[in-house]
Amino acid sequence: MQVKDFAEVRENAIREYAFTDLLNNQPAVDVQLQEAVKALMMLRALRLYDDYRAEKPVPTFVWLMFARDTSENPKSFFTNHLNHVGDAAGLEQVRIAVPSLRGHYLGERFFTAMR
């Protein structure tokens, strides 16, 4: 089964088994999935940074994330932190704001999907 085929699977148990099997048997899919999550997180970081600069309300982790020398703006955040995910560390191992950003993005996606 390929990733594009998952939309056709209606039963969650079968979809979960097939996805687990895909990740275990095709390591490139895991890498592609991490890269996709990084891209989505970067997009969210850009939007949050724009809101932060415009002095709109943002979650606390945003101003903490962009107050550091190594992540003063989205480019330095990506270069110094997010870019390393998948090379030397997983998403859960990068300490600076990545878990908060991931949680913010995923939480927003889940909330939207439940509407």
Interval 22-53: pLDDT, tens: 888 888 887 888 888 888 888 989 999 999 99
Q: Does pTM surpass 0.85?
A: no
Quick one: average pLDDT of 41-66?
Answer: 91
Please tell me the predicted confidence (pLDDT) of residue 34: 80
Is 66 inside a domain boundary?
Answer: yes
CB atoms closer than 10 angstroms to residue 17:
13
Is 24 inside a domain boundary?
Answer: no
Angle at 93 between CA 87 and CA 98, to 5 degrees: 95
More confident of the two residues 55 and 35: 55
Is 5 inside a domain boundary?
Answer: no
Is 2 inside a domain boundary?
Answer: no
Is 6 inside a domain boundary?
Answer: no
Is 17 inside a domain boundary?
Answer: no
Binned at pLDDT 50, 70 and 90, residue 72 comes out as very high
Binned at pLDDT 50, 70 and 90, residue 106 comes out as low
Task: Note down the domain range covering 107.
Answer: 33-114
Is 98 inside a domain boundary?
Answer: yes
Total tally of structural domains belonging to the chain: 1
- Residue 65 CB contacts under 8 Å (≥ 6 apart), including other chains: 45, 71, 77, 96, 97, 100, 101
Is 23 inside a domain boundary?
Answer: no
